[in-house]
């Protein structure tokens, strides 16, 4: 066989290997599920196995095709006789992708308090296919479901039933429209108004700049109900249906679809609201707090699972390729620099997974018990830390995975990696940039003493003696921060937030590592923790022990 033909044959074998059910081989994920679901594990494991088979064999090829530029959604503002219809046209594969994802029943699972973590396990697997045009709408829909869990609104039962249908072609999806051109993260500058008409019906007038899932049936949005109140105090939260009770389109128009770097198969638009009918959500003066505590908070949890799913798929592709690809007479997995790259990615992913699973379980426990103010504040800081570090590292992990593939890594038609990178970059900025999250944590330190709540969590819920000095130094950092002036604090908080993320992630992984060793007679997480601590809470010593450690993490003899 010619050299070219042999290499091409090897690539075909490698590509076919990517269709296998990676979930079945993931001992670490299965252990995490055992750790958190215990007696429920067998049932959940069975359902996840069936769903993951669809993700790797059916969903990924459809998503790859749907992502091609000429298959992206388009806006048709007028029908064939010139009447305005504001219709978004998707490639047929878009519906197929949606039906696969929603068939998992993840929306129904999250509709009851306490079901969030189970639902997000399915969401995590679907995110191996990237954002896929549907995972952002799912996160938006989750925010509306969460609002319905807490508040009564018109048509609540009807809308909940439609939001939780296990079929994209039959369900309703949600959207969250907050951003305006002049504000961005500064939501207090929002100028879109809400007013009562002559029939005492609330109407919305103004524009939103970045409307993801523009063809949603239900929209949560902020609007200024009181022109005399500046900032976020004058903002109310409103639910706006895409169609009125008589079946006619609600009064808003799409200007144009956004041409984004990633998440391209989901339609994002600029929208003008022209007296659109809406219902207020909760008390008007509590609008912004409802957004922060429910909508953005829950979306940040979803965002974390999304980017971890994307980076997990990138790792699977890169590791598999390293076992197939030869360079200079060796499989590239045999080279220490490749082993180190893959081992670091894996150790960081395991730590981040441990952190978000712990956080989401705490969220479920809080949702099913009487809310405790300190617990709410703890969850707020934990969720923000998760969103920060997962979105930061997911981009890096996918980037490093592309490195493993060399020049092939940059080719859009060769693997999903370029698309996963583009999607992860968009997710990195959704629901709060890194600086937005850092500054929110800094403000919460001053307002609510979340530093003390966080330290207490580390010492009482996660404590291990081997982390005593790390926790003490972090506590000293908090005190040093407060001794500085305001501007210096904004610089110091960057490193402090990162340390908070590192210690919490390592401690969560420690809990799982101990359990895995004692119950499964496996030491994968223990070894991953060792590398994680060397890399992020110490300094690696490059010797034979280090070399053996990265080999063991990669399963290389």
Chain segment 341-371, per-residue pLDDT in tens: 999 999 999 999 999 999 999 999 999 987 7
**Conformation bin of residue 410: beta by default, left when phi > 0, alpha when psi is -120 to 50:** alpha
What is the rounded distance in angstroms from the CA atom of residue 67 to the CA atom of residue 60? 11
Q: Which of 288, 313, 336 is the last residue of a domain?
A: 288
Identify whether the C-beta of residue 449 lies closer than 8 Å to the C-beta of residue 479.
no
| CATH code, domain with 226 | 2.40.110.20
Examine the pLDDT at 183 and tell me if it is beyond 80: no
* Burial (CB count within 10 angstroms: exposed 0-12, middle 13-18, buried 19+), residue 371: exposed
* Residue whose token pair is 């080279």: 335
> Do the domain assignments include residue 349?
no
Residue 243 pairs in a beta bridge with: 249
The number of domains in the chain is 2
Q: Which of 249, 268, 288 is the last residue of a domain?
A: 288
Model confidence at 529, pLDDT cuts 50, 70, 90, reads very high
What is the rounded distance in angstroms from the CA atom of residue 269 to the CA atom of residue 213? 8
What is the rounded distance in angstroms from the CA atom of residue 318 to the CA atom of residue 17? 12
Residues 6+ apart with CB under 8 A from 235: 187, 188, 190, 222, 223, 224, 225, 287, 288
> Do the domain assignments include residue 466?
yes
> How large is the average pLDDT for residues 74-99?
91
Q: Which segments within 293-399 are labelled E, that is strand?
A: 326-327, 330-331
> Do the domain assignments include residue 499?
yes
Q: Which of 156-165, 183-192, 508-517 has the lowest mean pLDDT?
A: 183-192
Model confidence at 547, pLDDT cuts 50, 70, 90, reads very high
Structure confidence at residue 79 (pLDDT): 80
Helices (H), 167-296: 287-290
3-state secondary structure of 546: helix
> How large is the average pLDDT for residues 448-470?
96
Examine the pLDDT at 54 and tell me if it is beyond 90: yes
| Domain membership of residue 255 as a residue range | 174-288
User: Which tokens go with 139?
Assistant: 């996160």
> Do the domain assignments include residue 407?
no
Q: Which of 147-156, 165-174, 378-387 has the lowest mean pLDDT?
A: 147-156
Identify whether the C-beta of residue 101 lies closer than 8 Å to the C-beta of residue 132.
yes
Identify whether the C-beta of residue 205 lies closer than 8 Å to the C-beta of residue 193.
yes
What is the rounded distance in angstroms from the CA atom of residue 365 to the CA atom of residue 382? 14
User: Which tokens go with 361?
Assistant: 């379980």
What is the rounded distance in angstroms from the CA atom of residue 122 to the CA atom of residue 132? 14
Q: 10 Å Cβ neighbour count for 548?
A: 12
* Residue whose token pair is 């109310």: 236
Examine the pLDDT at 379 and tell me if it is beyond 80: yes
* Residue whose token pair is 């429910």: 294
Identify whether the C-beta of residue 145 lies closer than 8 Å to the C-beta of residue 220.
no
Examine the pLDDT at 82 and tell me if it is beyond 90: no
> How large is the average pLDDT for residues 210-214?
93
DSSP 307-321: HHHHHHHHHHHHHHH
> Do the domain assignments include residue 425?
no
Instruction: Give the relative orientation of helices 156-163 and 135-150 as an angle to the nearest 10 degrees.
Output: 150
Q: 10 Å Cβ neighbour count for 183?
A: 16
> Do the domain assignments include residue 212?
yes
**Mean pLDDT over all residues of the chain?**
94
Q: What is the CA radius of gyration of the chain?
A: 24
What is the rounded distance in angstroms from the CA atom of residue 295 to the CA atom of residue 139? 9
Q: Which residue in 490, 214, 457, 475 sits closest to 359, CA to CA? A: 457
Q: 10 Å Cβ neighbour count for 500?
A: 26
Structure confidence at residue 1 (pLDDT): 55
Q: Which of 263, 288, 313 is the last residue of a domain?
A: 288
Residue 252 pairs in a beta bridge with: 273
Tell me which of 202 and 370 has the higher pLDDT. Answer: 202
What is the rounded distance in angstroms from the CA atom of residue 543 to the CA atom of residue 507? 26
> Do the domain assignments include residue 415?
no
Q: Which residue in 53, 69, 59 sits closest to 98, CA to CA? A: 59
> Do the domain assignments include residue 233?
yes
Identify whether the C-beta of residue 62 lies closer than 8 Å to the C-beta of residue 93.
yes
Q: Which residue in 366, 370, 388 sits closest to 500, CA to CA? A: 388
Model confidence at 41, pLDDT cuts 50, 70, 90, reads very high
Digit-coded pLDDT (tens) for 271-281:
999 999 999 99
What is the rounded distance in angstroms from the CA atom of residue 203 to the CA atom of residue 233? 19
Model confidence at 435, pLDDT cuts 50, 70, 90, reads very high
What is the rounded distance in angstroms from the CA atom of residue 420 to the CA atom of residue 313? 9
Residues 6+ apart with CB under 8 A from 58: 100
């Amino acid at each position: 066989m010619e050299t070219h033909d042999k290499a091409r044959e090897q690539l075909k074998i490698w590509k076919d290997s990517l269709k296998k059910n990676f979930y079945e081989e993931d001992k670490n994920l299965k252990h995490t599920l055992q750790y958190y679901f215990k007696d429920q594990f067998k049932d959940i494991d069975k359902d996840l196995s069936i769903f993951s088979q669809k993700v790797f064999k059916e969903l990924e090829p459809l998503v790859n095709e749907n992502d091609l530029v000429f298959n992206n959604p388009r806006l048709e503002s007028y029908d064939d006789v010139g009447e305005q219809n504001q219709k978004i046209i998707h490639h047929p594969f878009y519906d197929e992708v949606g039906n696969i994802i929603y068939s998992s029943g993840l929306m129904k699972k999250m509709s009851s308090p306490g079901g969030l973590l189970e639902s997000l396990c399915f969401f995590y697997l679907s995110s191996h296919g990237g954002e896929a045009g549907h995972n952002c709408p799912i996160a938006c829909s989750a925010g509306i479901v969460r609002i319905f869990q807490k508040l009564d609104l018109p048509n609540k039962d009807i809308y909940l039933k439609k939001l939780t249908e296990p079929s994209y072609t039959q369900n309703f999806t949600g959207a969250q429209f907050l951003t305006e051109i002049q504000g961005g993260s500064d939501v207090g500058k929002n100028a879109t108004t809400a007013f009562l008409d002559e029939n005492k019906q609330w109407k919305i007038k103004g524009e939103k700049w970045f409307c993801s899932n523009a063809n949603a049936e239900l929209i949560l949005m902020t609007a200024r109900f009181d022109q005399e109140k500046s900032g976020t105090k004058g903002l109310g939260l409103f639910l706006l249906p895409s169609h009125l009770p008589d079946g006619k389109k609600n009064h808003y128009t799409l200007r144009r679809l956004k041409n984004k770097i990633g998440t391209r198969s989901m339609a994002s638009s600029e929208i003008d609201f022209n007296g659109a009918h809406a219902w207020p959500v909760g008390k008007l003066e509590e609008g912004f707090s409802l957004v922060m505590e429910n909508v953005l908070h829950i979306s940040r949890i979803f965002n974390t699972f999304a980017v971890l799913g994307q980076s997990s798929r990138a790792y699977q592709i890169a590791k598999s390729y390293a076992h197939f690809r030869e360079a200079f007479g060796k499989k590239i997995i045999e080279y220490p620099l490749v082993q180190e790259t893959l081992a670091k990615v894996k150790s960081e992913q395991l730590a981040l997974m441990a952190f978000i699973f712990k956080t989401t379980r705490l969220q479920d426990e809080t949702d099913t018990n009487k809310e405790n103010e300190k617990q709410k504040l703890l969850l707020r800081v934990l969720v923000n830390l998760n969103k920060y570090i997962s979105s930061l590292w997911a981009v890096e992990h996918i980037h490093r995975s592309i490195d493993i593939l060399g020049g092939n890594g940059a080719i859009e038609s060769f693997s999903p990696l370029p698309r996963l990178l583009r999607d992860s970059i968009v997710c990195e900025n959704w629901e709060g940039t890194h600086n937005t999250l850092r500054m929110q944590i800094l403000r919460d330190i001053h307002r609510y003493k979340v530093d003390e709540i966080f330290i207490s969590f580390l010492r009482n819920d996660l404590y291990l003696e081997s982390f005593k000095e790390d926790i003490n130094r972090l506590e000293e950092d908090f005190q040093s921060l407060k001794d500085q002036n305001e501007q210096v604090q904004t610089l110091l908080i960057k490193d402090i937030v990162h340390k908070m993320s590192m210690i919490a992630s390592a401690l969560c992984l420690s809990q799982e590592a101990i359990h895995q060793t004692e119950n499964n007679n496996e030491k994968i997480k223990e070894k991953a923790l060792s590398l994680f601590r060397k890399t992020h809470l110490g300094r690696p010593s490059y010797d034979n022990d280090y070399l053996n450690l990265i080999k063991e993490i990669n399963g290389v003899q």
